[in-house]
Amino acid sequence: MPRPFVYKHLDKTLISGDLRETIALGFGSMYAVKKGNDWVTICRQDAFGLNPSEGRKYQRLFFATEQTAKRHASKLNKIYNSTEYTVVKI
């Protein structure tokens, strides 16, 4: 769930031809998911090649709250039958 009032607006602009503002958001500290020494990014792609025009979709696991980061780490540990996905404050 997005938390629009948790972040501080640093900069914003309306790029020519775009209908949405591009906003740089800031927060004092963040929480991230790591596995060992690696920061985790999730990638989803078409495993069967049915739609080659659709590229990979990425999701970076950096969050403003520790609870949300822990929830994502728990999901990954469950999906991959692991205990190596952990949360780190950055």
φ, ψ dihedrals at 55, nearest 5°: -85, 180
Give tens-digit pLDDT for 5-19.
778 888 989 888 888
Whether the pTM exceeds 0.75: the reply is no
Counting beta carbons within 10 angstroms of the beta carbon of residue 69, is it exposed (0 to 12), middle (13 to 18) or buried (19 or more)? buried
Is 89 or 49 the better-scoring residue by pLDDT? Answer: 89
Q: Tell me if 12 is assigned to some domain.
A: no
> To 10 degrees, the CA torsion angle through 20, 42, 62, 38?
-140
58 part of a folded domain: yes
pLDDT tens digit sequence for 13-48: 988 888 888 888 888 889 999 999 999 999 888 878
Instruction: Tell me if 73 is assigned to some domain.
Output: yes
Q: Which domain holds residue 39?
A: 29-89
| Domains of the chain: total | 1
